[in-house]
Chain A
Amino acid sequence: MTRDEIQARVQEVLAEVLGIDEDEVTPRATLTGDLGAESIDFLDIVFRLEQAFDIKIEQGELFPENLQQDATYVQDGVLTEAGLAALREKLPHAEVDAIEADPRLGRVGEIFTVDAMTNFVERKLGAAA
């Protein structure tokens, strides 16, 4: 599967999950800010990507888990250096650079763009091949 094919299918899935038109799902759009995703939508996205690409996504693999509960990662509502490093390590598909200059916890949603979803699936399919 080429990246273009993966991206087209990812766009289809996101449009279905979020109830929006496919042409709104542009590669640079963020899931929360631009496309209006809420927390339950993240689980929906995981389930639908699993189905669409016949892959298994573990909890915490696509989106972070229990980030704010770890004091070494988050202090006073801001991600620490360790927190940013952990995100980069655990979620290599995400665009952590986008929030590096202002890493407030509330901005974490911005690291999940449509491109990041495509990156994730591409890595996942690549690893399985």
Chain B
Amino acid sequence: MRWLWIDRILALEPGKRLVARKAVSLSEPHLHQHFPATETEPAMPVVPGPLIIEGMAQAGGLLAGHARGFKDDVVLAKLRKAELGFEVQPGAVIEFEATLVAIDDSGASVDGIVRVLDPAWDSPKELGAIDLMFAHVPAERDSLLIAEAFRTLIAGSVQAGGDGVDQMVV
């Protein structure tokens, strides 16, 4: 993880499941390019699909990393499935629920469900499913670059009462 793409961890069941959320803000510059107005169409700011996959990869990567005490780097190695049913607009919150299918010395398999909470709706809607494979590689020194941001994420999530997230304090 070179940059954080989730805002809060809501729940952690070590070695089993992690739930995280990402709030989508129009202050994210890429939304103004995805998609800008044309001569005939107004702007349509929607979250790019690959960034939804990145959120699931971070949620799943943290789950897999924690399961082995963060002793290896956890690298996204394969996107088996990504099925997303609708566009996500600024103001919405994306929820990533990652479930660990299997893990060993070589890597990990994570299945994910993505939901969207939009102020315009009464209840969350399921956006789709993202299934991933991670490879375990020896930890690199520069992976520490993210450590401070990671600690901030954990501290904020613990303060907000994330269920089981205190087990992630390193």
Asked whether any CB of chain B lies closer than 8 Å to the CB of A110, the reply is no
| Interface of B: prevailing SS | strand
Asked whether B80 lies within 8 Å of A43 as measured between CB atoms, the reply is no
Which residues of A, 29-67, contact B by the 8 Å Cβ criterion?
A: 40-41, 43-44, 47-48, 50-51, 59
Chain A, interface size category, equals 10 to 19
Asked whether A43 lies within 8 Å of B101 as measured between CB atoms, the reply is no
Q: Please, which residues of chain B bring their CB within 8 A of the CB of A44?
A: 78, 80, 109, 133
Q: Please, which residues of chain A bring their CB within 8 A of the CB of B104?
A: 43, 59
Chain B, interface size category, equals 10 to 19
Asked whether any CB of chain B lies closer than 8 Å to the CB of A19, the reply is yes
Asked whether any CB of chain B lies closer than 8 Å to the CB of A96, the reply is no
Asked whether A40 lies within 8 Å of B78 as measured between CB atoms, the reply is yes
Asked whether any CB of chain B lies closer than 8 Å to the CB of A17, the reply is yes
Q: How far is B135's CA from A17's CA once the two chains are assembled, in angstroms?
A: 16
The 9 closest A-B pairs by CB, nearest first: A47-B102, A40-B77, A47-B109, A40-B78, A43-B107, A43-B106, A44-B133, A40-B133, A47-B101
New A-B pairs, 4, CB < 8 Å, besides A43-B109, A59-B106: A40-B133, A40-B135, A44-B109, A59-B105
